[in-house]
Chains A and B, each alone.
Chain A
Amino acid sequence: MWSPLFGTDITRWGLAALCPPGPLKSYYRIDTPTADTPYTRAEFLAVDIETTGLTRGDEIVSIGFVPVIGGRVRLAGAEHLLVRPNCPVGEAAAKVHGLLDDRLAAAGPLEAALARLLAALAGRIPIAHHAAVERAFLSRACRAVYGRPLVTPWADTLALAKRNATRGNAVLANGELRLSSCRRRRGLPRHRSHDALADALACAELFLAEAAACSGKAPAPLRDLL
């Protein structure tokens, strides 16, 4: 029932054909909604990852995600996945606040986490705050695991918040686009950013607030939110 979005259809079709059978191929087989779909009728997945750092060599240590369906965050679909890094566990844990060595040592491999994420992402548009990071890390991870990148449109709450806030030519200072600052501006409660799931949830709520602000009488179409 979905027709393709933003011309990524050709790419997706091609990638689906090129991918080896597995989670990424299955993901590409399911279409995403069209650009004129109201956001309240589309499905999203707010995603946050924790990494050992921001450089190419750094690794994902946890992935948190929660679906946003019909304009509501659905906690029933929330997941928090830990990923056992390739580098020594102690080294990784030291870099990530609050992650314990033994929990990380007991975590599954990246393949397992990616498979769950991709299953949850099917037919949904990912949301992240400053999506460039999630986009880069997850695409690189897919390439490493499945040999193909993760190509998908992302909704970025940072970009949305910036656009909404600077509409009256207001200038935002550094730091005012952090997740917590954006939430504060929307009157959302303070959240403790203690793990990837808490941040994904915080991002999902901010997305609803920004999407509501982009909407007039009718809910905003996807093209206004991506």
Chain B
Amino acid sequence: MTPEIAEVQDFLGGHHPFDLLPEEARAAAARTIEIAYVRKGATVLAPGAPLAHLHIVRTGAVESLAPDGRLLGRAAEGECFAAQDLLRGGVAGGRTAAIEDCLIYLLPAETFSTLRREHPAFGGAFAVFDGGGLAAAVEAAPEHKSFDLLSRSVGDLLTRGPVTVPRSASIREAAAAMQAERVSSALIVEGGELVGILTDRDLRGKVVAAGRSGDEPVSAVMSPQPMCVQAGDPSFAALLLMSRHGIHHLPVLDKGRLVGCLSSSVLAEAQTLSPLTITRAVHAAAAAAELPPLVRRVPRVAAQMAEAGATAHSVGQVVTAVTDAVTRALLRLAEAELGPPPTPYAWLAAGSQGRQEQTAVSDQDNCLLLDDRFDEAAHGGYFAALSRFVVDGLAACGYAYCPGEMMAATPLWRQPLSAWRTYFERWIREPEPRALMLSCIFFDLRCIGGKAALWEDLSRAVLEESRRNRIFLAHMAANAMHHAPPIGFFRGFVLVSDGAHDNTLDLKHSGAVPIVDMARVHALSAGIAAANTQERLLAAAEAGEISRQGAMDLKDALEFIGLTRLRHQARQIREGAPPDNFLDPKTLSGFERGNLKSAFQVVKEMQASMASAYQLSRF
């Protein structure tokens, strides 16, 4: 009889990624494990030591240092270490020592490799170290759901439980309950069973207009045996039922239990949260004042899409599409007020709007590109007024003024084509720190309104200039190393390179920014006009600028970090807090922690390969 080693098996089952294994696989794996005890301070793995096992910390903690003393990582209970070394040649790269008395489980490399092969979800957690790419990890994520609001279930739309009144209550008591709960209907129950519904409309028509007393029983005026929907029904089914029968309230049942009441206003509100509805209303706006309430729905749309399993890339596209629509509506309204433009112009979005990577209503970065026939004395006033109108209109919608004044309303950023060419030439030829900072913003331009051909002329010239200038590119590459991802996590903290523990993870600067910066360098080097990071990476791989695997890994890392950020912001929005980029690592699941670690690893490796490609050690 093969014995069950419950202790070990249960421990593995409680930790990611072993929790992804089926019970039998875990039991079989447990039987191959060896257990070592290491006293605090003792070396577990010396540099160059051959590795034949995956190391898993059972209790205690270990720390790994590179031969040059750099901190490589720490691992505590339930975490693996030296997995990367095991998968890449089987020799320990650094020195791993116990920083507390440790019990360590050693899983033979053979068992480990069988598990990875036979259980792709488990294997995905190590794929980054194994040439398998990050995709395997991201794909193993929980299944994506549809985010089309009308296909969401009725139960999902309920915001509160039912307001019930016993059949024996008076009309006045029922009305008082509705008033106290601020609802437009009450469900009448008897012995736990739904027997009727009383709505605002009943109170108006059957009570007040009919001259009834509030002391009469509610059963005299309720609508008996109302039509119901099941919590699992799609919301469009509820919509059909309401419109077919001309009713506004539907009690919702879940397995025969009353769980709430769906009103037509809740359904309508769900509808208005569709991004399509928002952009349509933005296009139809007749005045700038109509825009802010529409934009106010955007964070909830983003949150809903994220919760429903949309990719971060598509949320970015949708949220930016709203910003674009708002910008175009403001340009249209400005032209309606100021008259047609005296010379052609192109309204350009920079930064995250330019890259189509907005996930929430953020600061505005934009500029105005004018035709070379522009004459300051004759046309200056018109374009100043147009820019002011749009920039103020955007600010009123919540797109805060750029703290660095990088907006079309600033005369410096409202220039004819020839002036813009001079700007870019100077930034490219003299890449001092401010020029690099500006390059990071203005190399992500996208034309939103006006004459697109103007922008195409500028873009072509600039790309030609930048791709030829290796020194500029090397400076941009060095700039892309400024933000380094953290080393990993340690006991609920973020572990940064000096060994310090942070309470928060900055998903923007230590996650997305380095990837965005690297993609920009690759795009400029290969003369790619796209501004979107994902498009840039794929085009760069196509052009042979970076390896296909490297491009896919960075794209997946950005996607995973983006999703984590969106889910974090969705949670904040649900809790009524303003969305930000700072995540408490303690709220991460083992799955998320593992994947973020893999994403950081990808970023670090791609930064290192970019550094060597541009010989940045010489900087």
- A191/B7 contact (C-beta < 8 A), A80-B1, A205-B103, A209-B101 known: yes
Q: Mark A61-96, 1 if CB is under 8 A from B, else 0.
A: 000100000011111101110000000000000000
Complexed CA–CA distance, A202 and B4 (Å): 14
B34 pairs with A188, CB closer than 8 A: no
User: Would you give the shortest CB distance from A190 to chain B, in whole angstroms?
Assistant: 10
Complexed CA–CA distance, A205 and B11 (Å): 15
A75 pairs with B58, CB closer than 8 A: no
Task: Please tell me the number of chain A residues within 8 Å of chain B, measured between CB atoms.
Answer: 27
User: Would you give the shortest CB distance from B24 to chain A, in whole angstroms?
Assistant: 16
B37 pairs with A197, CB closer than 8 A: no
A201 pairs with B34, CB closer than 8 A: no
Complexed CA–CA distance, A212 and B37 (Å): 8
Complexed CA–CA distance, A186 and B3 (Å): 27
Find chain B residues with CB under 8 A from A194 CB: 6
Which stretch from B25-33, B278-286, B351-359, B542-550 is at the chain A interface?
Answer: B25-33
A189 pairs with B103, CB closer than 8 A: yes
Nearest residue in A to B1 (C-beta to C-beta)? A80
* Interface hub of A64, A75, A205 (most chain B Cβ within 10 A): A75
Q: Mark A204-217, 1 if CB is under 8 A from B, else 0.
A: 11001100110000
Complexed CA–CA distance, A212 and B30 (Å): 24
Nearest residue in A to B6 (C-beta to C-beta)? A198
Does A167 count as interface, using CB distance less than 8 angstroms? Answer: no
A208 pairs with B36, CB closer than 8 A: yes
A187 pairs with B101, CB closer than 8 A: yes
- A213/B106 contact (C-beta < 8 A), A78-B5, A191-B7 known: no
Does B59 count as interface, using CB distance less than 8 angstroms? Answer: yes
Find chain B residues with CB under 8 A from A212 CB: 37-39
Does B385 count as interface, using CB distance less than 8 angstroms? Answer: no
Complexed CA–CA distance, A1 and B188 (Å): 89
A187 pairs with B3, CB closer than 8 A: no
Does B8 count as interface, using CB distance less than 8 angstroms? Answer: yes
Nearest residue in B to A71 (C-beta to C-beta)? B36
* Interface hub of A76, A78, A80, A208 (most chain B Cβ within 10 A): A78
Find chain A residues with CB under 8 A from B592 CB: none
A197 pairs with B5, CB closer than 8 A: yes
Nearest residue in B to A194 (C-beta to C-beta)? B6
Does A192 count as interface, using CB distance less than 8 angstroms? Answer: yes
B5 pairs with A72, CB closer than 8 A: no
Complexed CA–CA distance, A197 and B30 (Å): 14
Find chain B residues with CB under 8 A from A75 CB: 5, 8, 30-35
B5 pairs with A201, CB closer than 8 A: yes
A79 pairs with B3, CB closer than 8 A: yes
Find chain B residues with CB under 8 A from A78 CB: 3, 5, 31
B3 pairs with A197, CB closer than 8 A: yes
User: Would you give the shortest CB distance from B3 to chain A, in whole angstroms?
Assistant: 4
Complexed CA–CA distance, A187 and B31 (Å): 24
- A213/B39 contact (C-beta < 8 A), A78-B3, A201-B5 known: yes
> B7's contact among A79, A198, A213, by CB below 8 Å, is which?
A198
B31 pairs with A186, CB closer than 8 A: no
- A187/B32 contact (C-beta < 8 A), A201-B5, A205-B37, A209-B101 known: no
Does B100 count as interface, using CB distance less than 8 angstroms? Answer: yes
Find chain B residues with CB under 8 A from A79 CB: 3
Does B60 count as interface, using CB distance less than 8 angstroms? Answer: yes
B34 pairs with A72, CB closer than 8 A: yes
- A189/B31 contact (C-beta < 8 A), A198-B6, A201-B7, A212-B39 known: no
Nearest residue in A to B40 (C-beta to C-beta)? A187
Complexed CA–CA distance, A79 and B2 (Å): 7
* Interface hub of B3, B31, B39 (most chain A Cβ within 10 A): B3
Find chain A residues with CB under 8 A from B100 CB: 187
User: Would you give the shortest CB distance from A79 to chain B, in whole angstroms?
Assistant: 6
> A188's contact among B5, B32, B59, by CB below 8 Å, is which?
B59
CB contact list, A40-79 vs B, under 8 A: 64, 71-76, 78-79
B103 pairs with A188, CB closer than 8 A: yes
- A205/B39 contact (C-beta < 8 A), A75-B5, A75-B8, A197-B5 known: no
A80 pairs with B3, CB closer than 8 A: yes
CB contact list, B69-91 vs A, under 8 A: none
Complexed CA–CA distance, A186 and B37 (Å): 11
CB contact list, B10-58 vs A, under 8 A: 11, 30-39, 58
A72 pairs with B106, CB closer than 8 A: yes
User: Would you give the shortest CB distance from A76 to chain B, in whole angstroms?
Assistant: 6
Complexed CA–CA distance, A9 and B6 (Å): 38
Nearest residue in B to A204 (C-beta to C-beta)? B35
Residues of B within 8 A of A (CB): 1, 3-8, 11, 30-39, 58-60, 100-101, 103, 106
Q: Which are the 3 A-B pairs with shortest beta-carbon distances?
A: A208-B37, A73-B35, A80-B3
Pairs across A and B, CB under 8 Å, 13 listed: A73-B34, A73-B36, A78-B3, A187-B59, A187-B101, A189-B11, A197-B5, A198-B6, A202-B7, A205-B103, A208-B35, A208-B36, A208-B37
